[in-house]
Chain A
Amino acid sequence: MRTKNTILFSLISTFLLIFLISIWKILATLQGLNINNFNIEIIFIFGFLISLAHLIIGDRIKLFYKSVIFSSIFVFCDGYLIQKLPVWYNMGIFLIVYFFTNKISKYTFIGLKEEHSTQVILFDFLTLFGILFFSFVILFPFYMMLVTSFKTQIALLVNPLDFSIDFGQDIKDLFKSYFVIFKSYKFGKYIITSTIVSVGTVIITLIFAIPAAYAVARLNFFGKTFLSTSILIIYMFPAIVLVIPLYTIFSQLGLRNSIEGLLIVYTATTLPVAIYMLQGYFKSIPKELEEAAILDKLSWFGIIIKIIIPLSIPAISSVALYVFMIAWNEFLFSLMFLDNPNSFTLSRAIQYLSGDAETPRQYLMAGSVVVTLPVLFIFIYFEKYLVSGLTAGSVKG
């Protein structure tokens, strides 16, 4: 039992080490280092030996010294005997092995004897592996988007794997792609259009949604249940089905290529979810406050302005942010309704840019960074509000 568990533990931990080092090697390759081989066999042997040695040595040496010794041996063998690589690369390897030995430090021979110990180990390592794997898989495209926007066409052609950024160069050269898209491709204008459309959608949606949500949450009227269920069903309805009729109607009314047209469609498509989110919150506000207001002869308008809105600022901001993001990211309707470059939104402009095969990819990526950054900033800054917005159709039971 003990041998089996020991071997399993060593194997699992070794795979984690291989994964960590492979990611580091990929990242190093993308900095222009000439690494042609993962040397998995060698890492495997070393990882296995380190895990075993760790178990055998146990507490006899302090963890810090143990980690430093293991890391140094590993770096010496990998970095100097097998392939000569720069110091920063070996520093990275050192830190990875140091991190690794720290991670496995809580496992001992005694612990391995316990019931389910292999499953516990597997679970722990899978979690760790998952965290690293998903972080890498998710962040890697964003990282590539950012670094590509700082490269030049020639540099990318010479070595498609060299994404190192030379920070020593002139700031004008470094941000060249950004200067170009703002100067030659009028991205400043598109940002303004996108902002007007998104903020406008938020304002109009709130003006329509707050009274409607209040009515659904508080008042009794014929057709209320029908209304609240149809809100959700409408939310499920596909935008692609609306495109052709809206296109024909908008063409005939002359609403294509206009901000007003986009505002109407965006408001209509975000209203159902906005009403749904708001009414859920309004229901949680104590009724007594309104009853007092009714005694004071406040009209419904007064109740909404003076009581409901001040009390539901968190919910309203969450709806506002959510709607803003939907409108900012929207692509289908802007593709259908806008064909005049003067009225493009950012998303549409980037798609238009990519339609020209001559457009260098770093311009495309610079545009992508410009359209992505505001959303990511808003998301990170207001995450608490937004997460409740994203789970709007949320789940009870």
Chain B
Amino acid sequence: MKDTLANTEKKTAYILTLPAVLLVFSIILFPIFANIWISFKEVELKDIRIPEPRAKKIVKSIADEPTKIKILYKLRNSSLIQEIRDVSFQDNFPKNFKIEKLDSRCSFKKYSLKCEFGNWPAKYRENFQVIFSTNDGSKIDKQNLKSIKPKLDGKSNNILLNTNFTLKNFKKVLFENEFIDLLLTTFYYTFFGTVGSIVFGILTAQMVNQKFYGRIFMRSVLLFPYVAPVVALAYTWELLLDPNSGTLNSLLLNYQIIETPINLLGQKYIEISILGFDFKLRLALTTVIMFEIWRYFPLAFLFILARLQAIPKELYEAADVDGASPFQKFFNITLPQITAVISILFMIRFIWNFNKFEDVFLLTGGASGTRTLPINVYQQGFAISDIGMGSAVSIVIVVLLLMFMFFYFKLLGKKVDEN
């Protein structure tokens, strides 16, 4: 009895979870494996369209012969690079039709014209013409004829399904495409974006955790950048930072803080001298990181605030009795209490920033030294149209992410052991 109950429970569970699991697996897990497959192939964007045999039907009446009609099919292979094999053709006609002259490739049975055209090479074109007449001498309805569409079918090689593999893509990704530079840019972007957003998150959470008028309102405002659509925000920032008549540059010029406009999103380096040391700052990259921090510190803020509100008040009361200063309280009570949240946040944000595509794409499109790995996936796959290369870059991203996760959990595990 118990067994059957457990069995029905199991069955129910599988029925309930199956649709969700199937969908997620087919849209998320399957593509990750498909990526591995594609990354070992030489595929371009134009290769992935399946070649189709196409026919355009043109109906022409013949002068002085109302019972006869000429039908012209403009046949072609839609692909410019691949052949189609065993093209078959079928078109149906009204019952009173008879064919005048039959092409050797075709047969006309039961008012339907069937043809076998054999193989069509790439770019193949043919004008195929048939003449019909009616049995009973009645007039021919051209519109009716036009509305019947011919059916074509053919076999073609799907370049994605064949088993020609190559290591060319990985060779190119790792050795030819300034891979180190790409990696460094991605790392700067990810690391500083993550650290910055966490630092601002701590500051704002500490701030909102105090009592002041308008605190609830402040909490909502702080979340605005996180909930608003990235497209709107990125274009607003672009407009603010625009070198010609952008608001920020106009303001700085107006107050005579700068003499010439700074192209914050379009300039790769800016030279800065502090205390006599000259160094070059990656300007566009810094700006993009700023946007990143601005947009994502609210998440850190929310997590840390939730944690701060859960710290027992007694801890602070005890500290007050001991005469601790506000900074001592912050460093000795607050910070130790939020380290766990911070380490989780660091991981989540690091992974997400590492894969962030939209923000950089919308702000700079990857120009002026802001090309990160995700941007490279897009550029290889869609700008240069090399799907195989794009996939290879994706694989590099996945491998790096797995490595990061591995080290992170190893470090974290060690820490837990120490405590």
Residues on A lying within 8 angstroms of B by beta carbon are 26, 29-30, 35-38, 115-116, 119-120, 122-123, 127-128, 130-131, 134-135, 137-139, 141-142, 144-145, 148, 156-157, 160-161, 208-209, 211-212, 214-216, 219-222, 224, 227, 234, 236-249, 251-252, 264-265, 267-269, 271-272, 275, 300, 325, 328-329, 331-332, 335-336, 346-347, 350-351, 354, 361, 364-365, 367-369, 371-372, 375-376, 379-380, 383, 386-387, 390-391, 393-395, 397
In the complex formed, the residue of A with least CB distance to B377 is A240
Which chain B positions have C-beta within 8 A of A234? Answer: 24, 28-29
Q: How large is the interface on B (under 10, 10 to 19, 20 to 34, 35 or more residues)?
A: 35 or more
A249:B250 contact, CB within 8 angstroms: no
Instruction: Note all chain B residues with C-beta closer than 8 A to A376.
Output: 224, 227-228
When distances are taken between beta carbons in the complex, the residues of chain A under 8 Å from B222 are: 134, 138
Contact A242 B6 (CB under 8 A): no
- Chain A residues with CB under 8 Å of B348's CB are 236, 393
Question: Is B14 a contact of A245 with CB atoms below 8 Å?
Answer: no
Show 27 residue pairs from A and B whose CB-CB distance is below 8 angstroms, ordered by the A residue.
Answer: A116-B323, A127-B206, A131-B212, A138-B221, A211-B19, A211-B20, A219-B16, A227-B17, A236-B352, A238-B351, A238-B374, A240-B355, A241-B377, A244-B391, A245-B31, A245-B34, A248-B43, A269-B27, A275-B20, A329-B228, A347-B231, A364-B235, A383-B220, A390-B223, A395-B307, A395-B340, A397-B340
Q: Is A300 a contact of B340 with CB atoms below 8 Å?
A: no
Q: Are A350 and B207 in contact (CB under 8 A)?
A: no
Contact B27 A379 (CB under 8 A): no
With the chains together, A221 CA to B17 CA distance in Å? 11
Residues of chain B lying within 8 A (CB to CB) of residue A236 = 348, 351-352
Inter-chain CA distance A62–B236, complex, in Å, is 46
On whether A350 and B235 interact (CB within 8 A), knowing A160-B245, A243-B381, A391-B303, the answer reads yes
**Residue of B whose beta carbon sits closest to that of A348:** B231
Q: Tell me, in angstroms, the Cα distance from A144 to B218 when the chains sit together.
A: 19
Residue from A35, A144, A227, A267 within 8 A of B239 (CB atoms): A144
Q: Contacts A160-B247, A395-B307; is A215 near B12 (CB within 8 Å)?
A: yes
The distance from the CB of A206 to the nearest CB of chain B, in whole angstroms, is 11
B254 touching A131 by the CB < 8 A rule? Answer: no
- Residues of chain A within 8 A of B224, CB atoms compared: 138-139, 142, 376, 379
Assuming A138-B222, A243-B377, is B19 touching A379 (CB within 8 A)? Answer: no
Q: Mark B2-35, 1 if CB is under 8 A from A, else 0.
A: 0000100110111111011101101111111011
Is A145 a contact partner of B17 (Cβ separation < 8 A)?
no
Contact with A along B208-226 (1 / 0, CB 8 A): 0010100000101111111
Residues of B within 8 A of A387 (CB): 223, 302
Report the separation of the CA atoms of residues A267 and B26 in the bound assembly, to the nearest whole angstrom.
12
**Could you tell me the distance in whole angstroms from the C-beta of A91 to the nearest C-beta in chain B?**
21
Question: Is B232 a contact of A372 with CB atoms below 8 Å?
Answer: yes
Is there contact, CB below 8 Å, between B340 and A120?
A: no
Partner of B240, one of A144, A214, A240: A144
CB distance from A62 to the nearest CB of B (A): 22
Return chain B residues, CB-CB under 8 Å to A238. Answer: 351-352, 354-355, 374, 397-398, 401
Q: In this complex, what residue of B is CB-closest to A115?
A: B323
Cα A209 to Cα B23 in complex, Å, equals: 11
Interface of B is mostly: helix
B151 interface residue (CB < 8 Å to A) = no
Given A144-B240, A387-B302, does the pair A332, B357 have CB atoms closer than 8 Å? yes
**A248 in complex: contacting residue of B38, B294, B357, CB < 8 Å:** B38
- Tell me the B45-59 residues at the A interface (CB within 8 Å): 48-50
Of the residues B12, B231, B251, contact of A300 by C-beta under 8 Å:
B12
The CA of A139 and the CA of B158, in the complex, are separated in Å by 52
Find out whether the CB atom of B31 lies under 8 angstroms from the CB atom of A246: yes
Q: When the two chains form their complex, are residues B302 and A391 in contact, meaning their CB atoms are under 8 A apart?
A: yes
Q: Do the beta carbons of A371 and B229 come within 8 Å of each other?
A: yes
Distance (whole angstroms) from the CB of B217 to the closest CB of chain A = 9
CA distance A135 to B217 in the complex (A): 10
Q: Which of B16, B237, B245 contacts A215 (CB 8 A)?
A: B16
- Residue of B whose beta carbon sits closest to that of A38: B255
A390 to B306, CA, bound (A): 11
Q: How far is the CA of A267 from the CA of B20 in the complex (A)?
A: 9
Q: Does B113 contact A (CB under 8 A)?
A: no
Known contacts A138-B225, A239-B355; A130 and B23 CB within 8 A of each other = no
Name the B residues within 8 Å of A325 (CB-CB): 227
Smallest CB gap from A148: residue in B: B239
What mask results when residues 233 to 260 of chain B are scored 1 for a CB within 8 Å of chain A, else 0?
A: 1011101100001110011001110000
Which residue of A219, A371, A379 is within 8 Å of B9 (Cβ)?
Answer: A219
